[in-house]
Structure 1
Amino acid sequence: MKKSILRITLVAVLCITCNQAFSQTTNISVIDSAATIEPKLKFGCGFGLNFLGGTNITLSPNLRYAISDKFNLGAGIQGSYTSIKDVQKTTTFGANIITEYIPTRKFTTLLEFAQLKVNNTRETPTGEVKDDFWESALFVGAGFNINNKITIGAKYNVLYDDDESVYTSPIIPFVNISF
């Protein structure tokens, strides 16, 4: 009796297995094409805060064009306020050119050139000294992408000069939000 139950169970398992092994199934999935196509033109707004050695607040709206899935090219305007307590206050306004390389969906690298008009007021023992000049900045940076809308990272100013730069530090953290 035990042998017949074992044989029936074995035959049933083989039939089920063979049926699954030799049957053909076709899975058809419909992809919503509107959901998978990323827009070629994106508006973004970057902002940065830096409190190393002072205060630096930057706002930089930009427009970027996706050349491919991996490369973006864009331009924008940039404004910032920098303050070192009882030493100087600086406002800047200018334009920037941005290139982005996105090796993976979660990681972005960037190269950014900015040309800025600087208005600087320094406190000296003899009073305030005002300067107006142009400054160039070349940033190399990287950031983590959060759901393809937000990038959080840091950029390094290759042209930073401790004695003459408008920036308080060569490293500037940033957040860029894209629409």
Structure 2
Amino acid sequence: MKKNTSTSLSKFIFVVIILFINENVIAQYSQPQQSANPFWEKVQFGGGLGMSFGSGYTDISIAPSAIYNFNQYFAAGLGLQGSYVSSKNYYSSGIYGVSFLTYINPIPQIQFSINLNESYVNNHYESYYGQPGYTDNFWNTALFLGAGYRTGNVTVGVAYNVLFDENDNVYGDALMPFVRAYF
């Protein structure tokens, strides 16, 4: 009878060890995570935030955006923009709009961009040297063609507004440097 108890105990210990090893092996095996919606795996969010303050001068801008990566070479999306600029006792401006974004990456380090911006501009000029103040409200369209160096999620470059008009009082120059990041 002692032999049976010893054999039974050995079998029990053997079964427990096998189950323990089997459980560890199963726990180490993991299947790839399946997203509920693969669309969102290709969406990135980013944008810009800017603030500048000086003696009687304020400039605040925000530009959130989202893009969809069709593949490693092409992405497109939408952005919003809003800015407020004020120069004490002289000028204030509010600009609000939408952007249609296109990014082309021929190689991972280079990014070309085509950004169409449609903005509503509200400029208000205070009285100056006895002249009455006035308000200038209008729509402005800008088409920026850009090129930049890309590393990871950040791109640094310059864009040129092919529709630039110095009389619009929206952009100070046709060339605009940029830093953009998407996560």
Structure 1 regions of 5+ residues with no counterpart? 1-32
* Partner SS state of residue 168, structure 2: coil
Which structure features the higher share of helix residues?
A: 2
Aligned to 2:91: 88
Aligned to 2:180: 176
Aligned to 1:113: 116
* Count of residue correspondences: 140
Calculate percent identity across the aligned residue pairs.
34
The 2-side partners of 1:107 and 1:173 are apart by 15
Q: Given the alignment of the two structures, is residue 158 of structure 1 paired with residue 181 of structure 2, yes or no?
A: no
Q: Given the alignment of the two structures, is residue 40 of structure 1 paired with residue 45 of structure 2, yes or no?
A: no
- Normalized against structure 2, the TM-score is what? 0.66
Structure 2 regions of 5+ residues with no counterpart? 1-31, 34-40
Aligned to 1:29: none
- Normalized against structure 1, the TM-score is what? 0.67
* Partner SS state of residue 170, structure 2: coil
Aligned to 1:135: 140
Higher relative contact order (CA 8 A, sep 6+): 1
Q: List per-residue Cα deviations over 1:115-153 (Å, max 9, x = no partner).
A: 101110124431321112111111101111122x11111
The 1-side partners of 2:163 and 2:155 are apart by 23
What's the offset of the Cα at 1:62?
Answer: 0.7
Q: Given the alignment of the two structures, is residue 67 of structure 1 paired with residue 79 of structure 2, yes or no?
A: no
* Partner SS state of residue 164, structure 2: coil
Q: List per-residue Cα deviations over 1:89-115 (Å, max 9, x = no partner).
A: 322011010011001111111001011
